[in-house]
Amino acid sequence: LCAASLTPAVAQLVSENEARRRPEAVRGVKFAALRIFFLPALLCSTVPALFAGFITRRFIGNAEAAPAVIAILPCVFLGTVTAVYRGYYEGLRNMLPTAISQILESVVRVSFGVGFAYIAQLYAMKRFVNGQPVFGVICRSVDQMSDASLPYIAAAAVLGVTASEISSFLYMLIRSMFGDGLPKKIHLSKSTVQNEGRRLLRLLAPITTSAIVSSLAGTVDLYTIILCIKTSLFKYPELYAEKYSDIISSGVSLKELPNYLYGSFTGLASTVFGLAPSLCSVFGKSALPNISEAWAVKDLPRVRREIRRVMTVILYISIPAGLGLSALSHDILGLLFSSRAEEVSISYQPLAIMALGTAFATVSGAAYSMLQAVGKAQLPIYITIAGALKKLGLNMLLIPLPGLGLNGAAIASTVSGAVMCIWSTAALYVTTSTKPSPAFSIGAPLFGGALAATGAVWVKTSFAKFMSKPLLVIFSVCFAVISYIIFIILLDISTKNRVQNEILGK
């Protein structure tokens, strides 16, 4: 909740106060957020540790997960405080602290997670070889040793996440010692902190609700794909046995097939599909303080310029990325997951369908941030609910069809994404009286992206005999990227630098 809502809420209030030249209120937002959330976050990081066994046994159904739960609990406190500092600097239009802290998190998470797990494994093997109890359990075989040590090795890996949060937290604390661009000595009255705290809580309510709704909407696939595939499998067992004969011959039974298909869909197709929206979400976050600041002082021309700038950047990245990913879905998955050929064979068609909706996901995410900046934080809640209901209905309708299966889930995701994209963008443009330019912002990148994707497929087909498959995929992608860049340069020249002007917000 804090990661999804606290940072943008703090950023919005800070940028509004900065626009009104109220430095004491700017600092007041940070102190109010820390004062409100410090103790609850600390309690949420410590109290559940006392009941980790009960939680994992009764709610998760896996008592062996208790060490991992304990290992990750400090992240609740660390992530909450870090979210406050990130929102504070983002509100001051300084994205560098957030970027550096996220890079630190990624590097530390991987290196420490793998390192801790490896050390725990070596410790277990050493204890077993020396005939001593392994993590409190007397083991007489390698299998027993593995069963006894696995929960602790998993907890050691999870400690990598905690270590990454510690590194981000410490960086933010050290960064705060070097100032924030405001006067060092600012008198903070009690009334200012209380007032900003009340404003923060009022703003957090719709944002937090939207985050909860988005999280729940994300579970639609979890509760429908497996169920619908089981229903279809019960009706057409021969069809599934024939379609997935290679997977069944590898040891997956028909009973296990729905879970295997769902795991392949979420682990490969959904993961790769989420890369472009994750990249473009940065532009939406960076626009929030600029738009909220301009909106606070009623500078509507600047608000419209910023909206057009963000939308242009996102569309010119997401549309060609989606088309290219759709055209090369099988090859890209094969390159990234070369040792999982069966799962690639399941996932590439759904990925090709979902990739066509890449722009829908990226635009709606950015529109949500900008709607929040102009005081429409509740609207994304209704849009997300409508999209989730649309996805739920289409999943139930399409997945059981024998010719669709997972492709039906991909179609449902694309259609629901289109609904949320169109609704959120229209609401944003109407609220701010921004005039759309579909031919320039959609038509041009769509045409250029289609040319680049077609060129990538032609390169892949023409040079298949002369290159190894991994090298061929990389070469095809590079050809598509270079082709698209050349197209944008020519478009910019022919429109007298309109592309540059839109991206720079002129």
Compare 296 and 74 and report the one with higher pLDDT. 74
Mean pLDDT to the nearest integer, 270-274: 85
Q: CA geometry: angle at 473 spanning 268 and 111, to 5°?
A: 55
Nearest partner of 412 among 425, 426, 397, judged by Cα? 397
Give the model's pLDDT for residue 2: 67
Compare 372 and 212 and report the one with higher pLDDT. 372
- Residue 279 predicted with pLDDT over 90: no
- Residue 178 predicted with pLDDT over 80: yes
- Residue 60 predicted with pLDDT over 70: no
CA atoms of 351 and 456, how far apart (whole Å): 17
User: pLDDT by residue (tens digit) across 440-450?
Assistant: 889 999 999 99
pTM of the predicted model, to two decimals?
0.76
Give the model's pLDDT for residue 297: 82
pLDDT band at 89 (very low <50, low <70, confident <90, very high): very high
Give the model's pLDDT for residue 82: 94
DSSP string for 343-355: HHHHHHHHHHHHH
Residue 364 near residue 417, CB atoms below 8 Å: yes
Radius of gyration of the chain (CA): 25
DSSP string for 486-499: HHHHHHHHHTTSHH
- Residue 61 predicted with pLDDT over 80: no
C-alpha dihedral sign at 253, 258, 259, 260: positive
User: pLDDT by residue (tens digit) across 400-418?
Assistant: 887 788 899 899 999 999 9
- Residue 202 predicted with pLDDT over 90: no
Give the model's pLDDT for residue 321: 92
User: pLDDT by residue (tens digit) across 122-171?
Assistant: 888 888 888 888 777 787 777 777 777 888 898 999 999 999 999 999 99
CA atoms of 437 and 330, how far apart (whole Å): 34
190 burial via Cβ count (<10 Å: 0-12, 13-18, 19+): exposed
Give the model's pLDDT for residue 227: 85
- Residue 252 predicted with pLDDT over 80: no
